[in-house]
Amino acid sequence: MIRTAGALLSGALAVFAFAPFSLPLFALISPAALFLLLKDIQPLKAAWIGWCYGCGFFGAGVSWVWVSIHVYGGASVLLATLATSLFVMALALLFALQAWLLVRIFHSKTTSWLGFIAVWIGFEWLRSWFLTGFPWLLLGYTWLDTPLKSLAGLSGVWGLSLMTLCLAIGSVQAITQRSSKPLFLALALPLLSLSLPSSWTSEKPVPHLQVALVQPNISQHEKWDSSQLEAILQQHIDLSKPYQDHDLIVWPETAIPSLYYQAAPYTEDFFSHLNTIGTTLISGFPFMTYDTDNPDIRRFHNSLGIFSQGNGVYHKQRLVPFGEYVPLEQQLRGLIDFFDLPMSEFSLPEHTDLMLQVGQTQLATLICYEIAYPELTRRSAMNSDLILTVSNDAWFGDSLAAEQHLQIARMRALENGRWVIRGTNDGITAVIAPDGGLNQRLSRKQPGVLSASIPSMQGQTPYQKVGVWPVLGISLLLLLLGLWPRPWRAFKDHAMTG
């Protein structure tokens, strides 16, 4: 019972390491506590402790799912609580498997601390792609506002997660075993991070891009009401008009909440005017295509398109389960309002452009949740001048989600050495520097426009060139080092009895 309560508590404490709290000490305490809780127990008990830890970790960290289901999905308090609990418990199974595997392989071994680090990193990576992935709350995000963040340019958020675990678990091992040897591994990456350059990329010698990011603050209860379409589009236009002299105006995710032919009567004059004066406008909108194999089937995409001074469309490549598509659709459609949300019928594209071009500037484009995928962003941004991401975090109300999402976007800027311009419906609209610092931001829940002059960047960070693989390689090496005594003893026993 004490271990169970300790697992739940230590998992929940991790939330304080992430935004908006941003206290990285808890990123050390939380996994260190789990490591101690897994000592001297059997694999099945370890799975239970790992699952309880995961319930605390995700229950506190992604509690904002409840807001989306209840407030905007129309589910009752009871049903929203049940659905959120099932989501959290399902995610926690990964921690259960992680703990079971660790104890099964390293039971009673003094090198289990090396295995703990390696297995944790492996499961963070697994979580980034398994069943479309949920790469939220990776430990490395917690160092974004510290001098240790420089490691991200070398090895991405993965390297910072590895550093966190080496520091936390190595310190615990040094204390419990009264040995200084684990401290060498614990301190190696922090010291390396402090010695790294602050920037791997540089500005291009070209004019800056003058950008206006429009934050309309449209209520989710009104956004998809067809009777509000004209008023919503007019609000975007009115906010944009004072910034017509800019190179680029950005409207957020699904700012046009209809197929374009329905919106055209209200926007065509304004877009034509922008085209005449040479201003590019990019907006999120639903895009319809027909299935190549069956022309009678229509498919909808969550897209980002250029509506003046150029052309190009980007279709979202990572969809949010239940929010943008419904697994087991035939069984769940109509069960509760949440499964019939207006934007829950999106499809993955067969192909899409990864960048949109504004003049001579190449923009890597990512929609909402996609910015959470380190490897997807890395591939998209590799040859870009800057990164554009749009979102609609109004789905999550005043929960932790908006600050966590901004923290993730800041890490993507740091990993890729690119400016990130982030346009949102109700916040947090922001301009993020290549070092992950917040250059400008708008307040939440208020309409407004953020105007900024953005440099184009050139060059690539080491992480952009090689991705997650070096960190996975180091983790594999730690795993093998942890396992080494077992095959060595087996060989020696065989030799003695042979």
Residue tagged active-site, from 253, 324, 370, 415: 253
Q: Is 222 part of the annotated catalytic residue set?
A: no
Write the DSSP string, 448-475: EEEEEEE--EES--HHHHHTTHHHHHHH
Beta-carbon contacts of residue 438 (< 8 Å; ≥ 6 apart): 410, 430, 431, 432
CB-based burial label for 327 (10 Å; 0-12, 13-18, 19+): exposed
**CA dist., res. 39 & res. 52, Å (int):** 15
For the chain, how are helix, strand and coil distributed in percent, rounded to 5? Answer: 55, 15, 30
**107 touches 99 (CB < 8 A):** no
Q: Is 492 part of the annotated catalytic residue set?
A: no
Residue tagged active-site, from 124, 316, 324, 403: 316
- From 305, 307, 299, select the one nearest 324 (Cα to Cα): 299
What single letter denotes the amino acid at residue 493? D
Provide the H-helix boundaries in 318-417: 329-332, 374-381, 401-416
User: The tokens of 426 are what?
Assistant: 């109700």
The dihedral sign for the CA sequence 396, 318, 249, 265: negative
**CA dist., res. 489 & res. 307, Å (int):** 68
Backbone angles phi, psi at 270, to 5 degrees: -65, -45
Residue tagged active-site, from 55, 368, 370, 403: 368
How would you classify residue 387: left for phi > 0, otherwise alpha for psi between -120 and 50, otherwise beta?
Answer: beta
Helix (H) and strand (E) counts in the chain: 17, 14
Provide the H-helix boundaries in 334-442: 374-381, 401-416
**252 touches 240 (CB < 8 A):** no
**Run of H or E residues at 68:** none
**242 touches 271 (CB < 8 A):** no
What single letter denotes the amino acid at residue 350? E
Give SS3 for 442: coil
How would you classify residue 137: left for phi > 0, otherwise alpha for psi between -120 and 50, otherwise beta?
Answer: left
Give SS3 for 353: coil
Q: Is 368 part of the annotated catalytic residue set?
A: yes
Backbone angles phi, psi at 41, to 5 degrees: -130, 165
Which residues are catalytic, by number?
A: 253, 316, 368
